[in-house]
Structure 1
């Protein structure tokens, strides 16, 4: 069974992290949906989550 391109990119990113490849090893072009998916797989979280930022002092 063949995976859709986005799921394939997520799997590739997760695999890259598991085998300790650097994050800049992503083979997809900048700003592409596949690159975003690869990074999600590598980081283990959705890009929509965004980075954890400290809350500003009130």
Structure 2
């Protein structure tokens, strides 16, 4: 992470690895214009295995 930044997030329950999901950061349907940092990306295996937004499991009201 960083020596100068705090990373905070809120959860509704204790960590449950079986409920964890990952969507690819570069999914074209999300259309996020990430800045070019001029260095190769270093992705975790979990991030490399992320699914597309369209294929992601939906949680919530339909």
Normalised to the residue count of structure 2, the TM-score between the two structures is 0.25
Normalised to the residue count of structure 1, the TM-score between the two structures is 0.26
**Structure number, greater radius of gyration:** 2
- Which one has a larger percent helix, Structure 1 or Structure 2? 1
